[in-house]
Each structure stands twice: as structure tokens, then as C-alpha cells.
Amino acid sequence: MPKIEVHEKLFNSLLGKSYSNAQLEEILPVAKAELDGHDPDESLYKIELNDTNRPDLWSTAGLARQLVSYRDKIIAQYDFFSTSEETLDSDGRTLIVHESAKLVRPYSIGFAVTGKVIDEEILLDFIQGQEKLCNNFGRKRKTIAIGVYRSDLITYPVHFEGADPDKAHFVPLHMSEDLTLREICKKHPKGLEFGSIVADSPVFPFLYDDTGAVLSFPPVINSAHIGAVEVGDEHLFFELSGTGLDDLLLAASIIACDCADMGFTILPVRCEFPFDTKYGREITVPYYFQDPVGCELNFLRRTLGENLTGEEIILALRRMGIFAVVDEKMVYVTVPEYRNDFLHPVDIVEDVMIGHGLENFAPELPSDATVGRITEAETFARKVKDIMVGLGYQEMMYNYLGSRREYIENMHVDGSEYIQIANPMSENYEYVRPSIIPSLLESESVSAHAAYPHHIFEVGKVAFLDSTDNSGTTTRNYLGFLSASSEMGFNQLNSVIATIFYYLNHEYVMEDLDDPRFIAGRCGKLLCNGVVVGVFGEVHPAVLESWGITMPTISCEIDLDLLH
């Protein structure tokens, strides 16, 4: 979960008062946060956020905004947002996205601020907020990269294009040598860290003003001149580039609201695109794009277990910084500019619950008396585990979320039926596990030091898309096992499968299988009563190479829900 460091002086000025540690511990849960530590010598609070759906809270100003709303029952108001009905005057400030940018990073937006001199605390908070948004929300700059520049040195319009990486050049931040974009990827520390994001593209992102003065090479590094923001600067330009327009607009809104709360004046910038977007070819940023959302009143009351009045609901949402209207049947919510996390009516219910105060919900004993017992599926799973242990296999336990590399690229499959997380915390938890075999192979890839043969298994859940289910997905209980040694092959695998089905008292037949995970002619499907219940085979050398496995490996997985 995101952790931030909050400077006391800046935090207290935004809160309008100072808080003791005990008071902070009491109020922070309304922002789904907790006090992780307090360093009086450095005047720093260390705060852990327990929700990845609220990137607006990952900064001092954003956290303070939520606490003030809850404490004072006020809704933050901002007047610098353009909408589909009203476009604010950008006063000649323009960012032009060129056609060539589509080849590498299609979107770039920005806005400017002025009216407040940056001190060290504000600068450090800018850097921290930028890093949290880019790394957590922007998947380590892959989908969102943010640059901050000295606006008084910029001649508008600003240009964003896809440039020749061997011809475009500038002096990057923290260096004195003029380098091409490709050289930056090889020589600059940030280039080594983030250059891989664009390394395979025919052109690289390039940001410069109308005089040709370079601002940055997004998403890698700013220039050493316009991009070197320092204490004492007053005029700033924020630019955000990436792959999804809504995510960029939300990140821009969060930063703009934070700047406004700290006393800056927000200056809109007109962003021009060479192609149609869902908001047109011109967008003046900051831009309010959220749609109103609603929730049935009966659903809210039933979910909370409290018959809250309309006035209580409106007050609870006001304390969360949200304007709402309640009629006889519905709760209508105007989503704040800095939020875009209302994906389901239950999200409104959650904010009402927090705003009303958990301490105000009377505890209630369950009305149904039930007796806990092991499910049939668990009983069957335990039997399967006993069989596998008896066969000499070691039980493993794995995460149910993983990366595209693990589940798709290393397995040489297309992954079209796999469940992808819409807004993952990181690329390491981007997909729901569709198979146990990748997890087993990952263990084998780091086990070359252990004496062979290796025998491992797991009984666990997998999930994949399923149009026949109301949720669009299905979750199944699977057995997966793997063996690796120089002698492993089809005969050994066939023997293990026969033993498993013998002790489970099931008849089975084998059929041919065409699966890129296995060697053709040395793999197959397992059928019981004409229904496919599993797959097996010798793992394909290309898959083994992807995982860095050097020993022949056999693997099998069986759908246990079809057997018990």
C-alpha cells in the first residue's frame, strides 16, 4: 500500500490546526489511512494509505482535504475546470500533440500554476506526489509520466512529438553532457531505469517549446534548464503523458487541486490533438470529465443495515467532500474533480458509511444460528493433497494475482480469456491466475540449486472469463503438479496421473492436445465421461527457456470441481 511522508508545517497549515499523534490516529481512518510513525526531529509524519483506489490521498494536500471535509463538513470548491459545456480561456497557453506521438505515447496534456513561491517542503511534496502517481497509479511511468517545469522559461505553444532518438538531443537533468535520446537511455540513471518503456518504439517522446528549447524526454528525464525546478520558483508548468486519456485527466485534476489548496493560481492550457478523442480534438486542462453516479436508496439502507434519512446521507457524503441529492428512491452524487473511483453503487454506500461514522452503527448480533463445517470441496481437496504427498510431492502455496509476463508471455499463450485487472497497483499483480502451471514453473525456475528430482504441487483456485456466468468470470478449484529431472518424460507423467485417478475412483481417457505450453505429441487432455477435466504434457522447451529452466519438466493440472 502507498506510504507518504508528510511535513508537519505544511500539513498543519492545510489543516488549519495542529494535531497530536493520538488525534491523528483517531481521524486518519476516514481517509483509509493510519499513522505509521512520527519523527519529531525531522518534523515528519509517516502515513500509510490502505486504499489504492484513491490516488488523490497520496499527497499532503489531498490527505488534508479529506480530513478537513470530514471535520468541518465542507466540500472543496474549484473554479478552474473546463467542462463539455464551458471552456475556460487558456490565454494563449497551448500544448500541441503531433501525429508522430501516436507511434509511441499518444496523449500529452498540461496546465500551469503561479502565485506562490516554492519552499523546500512544497518542492519535496511535489516530488513525492509525482512519484506516487507515476509509480503506483501510472504503473512505473508506463501509463502516466509527469514532468514539472519552470513556466516562465517556456514560449508557448509547447510541442509533444515522436522524435528520432538518434537526432533529438538535449542536456538532461543532473548532467552537463548533451546527449541524444538513445544515449540518455544508455548513460543516464533514469534512462537505465525507465528507457525500456519506449526502447522498442520507432520514435521516442519529445517535449519542447516553440523556440525549440527542450523540456523533457518523457517518461524518462527532464532537461537541465527548463526542467530543473528549484526552491524559489513561482511559475510552473505541469505536463502529463501516457496511454489513457481519462487517467491523465484524473492525475492532472489531482495535482491541480493540490496546488490550489496550497495557494497557487491554476492557469488552464489548451491541449490540441491530431486525432479524435472522446472529448474532441481540443481539451482545455484541467478538465472535468466525471459523470454523475447514483445509488438506490433501498440498496444503500439494506447494505448498511440502517434506515438513514436523506439528511443523514447528504451530511455523511458532505463529510467525504461529496455533493449529493436524495429523493424518495435514489441518491445522486456529483463526483469530485479529483476522484474517479465510483465504479458501483456500493462505492457510494462505502462513503456514506465512513462519513456517517462507524462508531454510529449499533452492533447487532446475527439472527441466524449456524454451525461451521468443512465444505465438500474442501474435503475433496484435502483428499487430493494426501494423495499427492503420498506420491512424494511437496505442497506449495501461491498468490492468485500475477503479471502478464508470468501468465502469458512466458507461457507463449495469447491470454485472451484471462482476467486482467483494470487498475492494478503494479504490473506484478495485473492478472488473475488462469492456471497453476505458471506458478509451479516460477518455483522451478529458482530451484536449480536443489537436488533433483523436483516434485511440487498445489491445490488452489484459478479464474478466467466466462460469458455464461452472470459475473462474466468463473473461479475453479484446480490441482496442478510438476516434476523436473533429467529422466522426466511422458511415461513418468502417465504413471502419476493413473495413480491419482485410481485413488479418486474415477475412470479417464486421454486425447490429443494442441497446446503451446507442451511438446506436440507428448501432451494430452484428460476426459471423464466425455468431459475434459484436465491437461498434461512435457513442458515445451521454449516455455522452459522463458523461465530459465534447464531440466526436462512434466506438468499437469486437473479441474477438481468436475471430479468431486
Q: How high is the pLDDT of residue 426?
A: 79
Q: Does the residue 52 lie in any domain?
A: yes
Same domain, 340 and 274: no
| Cα distance between residue 101 and residue 219, in whole Å | 13
Q: Does the residue 216 lie in any domain?
A: yes
Q: How high is the pLDDT of residue 422?
A: 82
Q: How high is the pLDDT of residue 232?
A: 94
Evaluate whether 106 touches 243 at the Cβ level (below 8 Å). yes
Same domain, 269 and 299: no
* Range 269-296 average pLDDT: 96
CB atoms within 10 A of CB 348: 26
Q: Please, which residues have CB within 8 angstroms of residue 521's CB and are 6 or more apart in sequence? A: none
Greatest CA separation for the chain: 79
Same domain, 308 and 198: no
Q: Closest Cα partner for 504 from 421, 427, 445, 563?
A: 563
| One-letter amino acid of 65 | R
Question: What region does 63 belong to: left with phi over 0, alpha with psi -120 to 50, or beta?
Answer: alpha
Same domain, 532 and 460: yes
Same domain, 43 and 170: no
Q: Does the residue 78 lie in any domain?
A: no
Q: Is 129 helix (H, G, I), strand (E, B) or coil?
A: helix
* Range 164-175 average pLDDT: 95
In 252-354, at which residue ranges do the beta strands (DSSP E only) sit? Answer: 265-267, 269-272, 282-285, 293-296, 323-326, 330-334
Q: How high is the pLDDT of residue 428?
A: 86
Going by DSSP bridges, is the β-strand pair 158-163/94-97 parallel, antiparallel, or unpaired?
parallel
> Measuring CA to CA, how many Å separate 309 from each of 305, 418, 487?
13, 43, 71
* Range 389-417 average pLDDT: 93
pLDDT exceeds 90 at position 542: yes
Q: How high is the pLDDT of residue 365?
A: 81
Domain boundary among 331, 358, 385: 358
What are the cell numbers at 275?
486525432
| One-letter amino acid of 537 | G
Question: Residue 240: which H helix or E strand, with range?
Answer: strand 236-242
pLDDT exceeds 80 at position 187: yes
Q: Does the residue 364 lie in any domain?
A: no
In 164-234, at which residue ranges do the beta strands (DSSP E only) sit? Answer: 169-170, 179-180, 204-208, 214-217, 221-222
Q: Does the residue 88 lie in any domain?
A: no
pLDDT exceeds 90 at position 101: yes
Q: Cα-Cα-Cα-Cα dihedral of 304, 57, 55, 337, to 10°?
A: 80
Evaluate whether 216 touches 223 at the Cβ level (below 8 Å). yes
The CATH number linked to 47 is 3.30.56.10
Give 513-522 pLDDT, tens digit per residue: 999 999 999 9
Q: What percentage of the chain carries pLDDT values higher than 90? A: 88
* Range 339-365 average pLDDT: 92
Q: Does the residue 89 lie in any domain?
A: no
CA-based end-to-end distance of the chain: 39
**Residue position matching grid coordinates 478537513:** 68
Same domain, 338 and 419: no
Instruction: Tell me the helix, strand and coil percentages in the chain, rounded to 5.
Output: 35, 25, 40
pLDDT exceeds 80 at position 425: no
> Measuring CA to CA, how many Å separate 282 from each of 151, 273, 274?
21, 6, 9
Q: How high is the pLDDT of residue 250?
A: 97
Residue 469 pLDDT grade (very low, low, confident, very high; cuts 50, 70, 90): confident
Q: How high is the pLDDT of residue 371?
A: 83
Domain boundary among 72, 105, 123: 72
pLDDT exceeds 80 at position 1: no
**Residue position matching grid coordinates 492557469:** 267
Same domain, 498 and 412: yes
Q: How high is the pLDDT of residue 416?
A: 85
* Range 490-501 average pLDDT: 93
Q: How high is the pLDDT of residue 362?
A: 85
Q: Mutual orientation of helices 310-319 and 345-356 as an angle, nearest 10°?
A: 90
The CATH number linked to 280 is 3.50.40.10
Domain boundary among 72, 107, 132: 72
Q: Does the residue 155 lie in any domain?
A: yes
Q: Mutual orientation of helices 345-356 and 297-304 as an angle, nearest 10°?
A: 60
| Cα distance between residue 408 and residue 416, in whole Å | 9
Same domain, 303 and 252: no
Q: How high is the pLDDT of residue 229?
A: 93
Give 77-93 pLDDT, tens digit per residue: 999 999 999 999 999 99
Q: Does the residue 79 lie in any domain?
A: no
Q: How high is the pLDDT of residue 417?
A: 86
pLDDT exceeds 90 at position 466: no
- Better pLDDT: 425 or 264: 264
Give 365-390 pLDDT, tens digit per residue: 878 888 888 999 999 999 999 999 99
Q: Is 12 helix (H, G, I), strand (E, B) or coil?
A: helix
Q: Closest Cα partner for 552 from 479, 493, 495, 497?
A: 493
Q: Is 197 helix (H, G, I), strand (E, B) or coil?
A: helix
Residue 201 pLDDT grade (very low, low, confident, very high; cuts 50, 70, 90): very high
Same domain, 340 and 483: no
Give 293-340 pLDDT, tens digit per residue: 999 999 999 999 999 999 999 999 999 999 999 999 999 999 999 999
Which residue range(s) make up the domain with 331? 293-358
Tally of domains in the chain: 4
Q: Please, which residues have CB within 8 angstroms of residue 29's CB and are 6 or more apart in sequence? A: 354, 358
Evaluate whether 484 touches 506 at the Cβ level (below 8 Å). no
Q: Mutual orientation of helices 245-261 and 60-72 as an angle, nearest 10°?
A: 70
* Range 254-266 average pLDDT: 97
Long-range contacts of residues 277-285, Cβ cutoff 8 Å, at least 24 apart = 277/107, 277/245, 278/245, 279/84, 279/245, 283/82, 283/109, 283/249, 284/82, 284/87, 284/88, 284/90, 285/82, 285/109, 285/110, 285/111, 285/249, 285/252
Same domain, 513 and 380: yes
Residue 157 pLDDT grade (very low, low, confident, very high; cuts 50, 70, 90): very high
* Range 252-257 average pLDDT: 97
Question: Residue 38: which H helix or E strand, with range?
Answer: strand 33-39
Same domain, 281 and 298: no
Same domain, 246 and 204: yes
